[in-house]
Amino acid sequence: MMYNITEDDYTFVERDDQDHWVVRLKTGPYADTFYTYGKVSIVPPEGGWSDDDDDNIGTLQFTYGLIESSHDLEELSEDGEFNDYIAAVLQHLLEDSFAKGDYRIGDESRDDDTTESDKQ
C-alpha cells in the first residue's frame, strides 16, 4: 500500500522518559503512536549501483523502538502495514531533510533496543 505522507501526519515531541526526540503519528490508522527511529541505511540493489541502470532503487532499512500506542505494541512490531506506514514517514522525513538541507536526524551514538525493518 502506498501512503501519501506529509508533515501534517507526524510531529517530533520531547518526552520525559526518552533522551531524544520521539515521532508522534498525528493522523491515520496509527494516530497517537509514539516511536523512535534507530539506525537508518540504504541497501544497494541486488546487482549493486550502476550508472547505466535507470532502476537504481535501494532498500530503505531501519530500526525503530515503539514507546506508546493505543494499539498493542507487540502486535504493532509484527504488523507489516505498520512497518510500511512508518517506512513512508521515514521516507518523507529524509526527503524533507534533504530539501531543507538538514541531513542529520537524531543522534548517531544512540544504542536502543529496536526492531528492524526492510522496506523499499
- pLDDT tens-digit map of 11-61: 999 988 888 889 999 999 999 999 999 888 888 877 777 776 666 677 889
Quickly tell me which residue has 530539501 as its cell: 99
In a domain, 16, yes or no: yes
Instruction: Name the strands in the sheet holding 22-25, side by side, starting at the edge strand that comes first in the sequence.
Output: 10-13, 22-25, 34-43, 59-68, 115-119
In a domain, 113, yes or no: yes
In a domain, 30, yes or no: yes
Q: For the chain, what is the domain count?
A: 1
In a domain, 21, yes or no: yes
Give me the domain span that covers residue 22: 7-119
pLDDT (mean) for 70-85: 96
In a domain, 1, yes or no: no
In a domain, 55, yes or no: yes
Q: For residue 108, what is the DSSP state?
A: T
In a domain, 18, yes or no: yes
Neighbours of 99 (CB within 10 A): 8
77: nearest Cα among 18, 26, 33, 11? 33
Quickly tell me which residue has 506508546 as its cell: 68
Quickly tell me which residue has 490508522 as its cell: 29
- In DSSP notation, 7-72 reads GGGEEEE--TT-SS-EEEE-SSTTTT-EEEEEEEEEEPPTT---TT-TT---EEEEEEEEEE-SS-
Task: Flag whether pLDDT at 108 surpasses 70.
Answer: no
**pLDDT score recorded for residue 86:** 96
User: Amino acid identity, residue 117?
Assistant: S
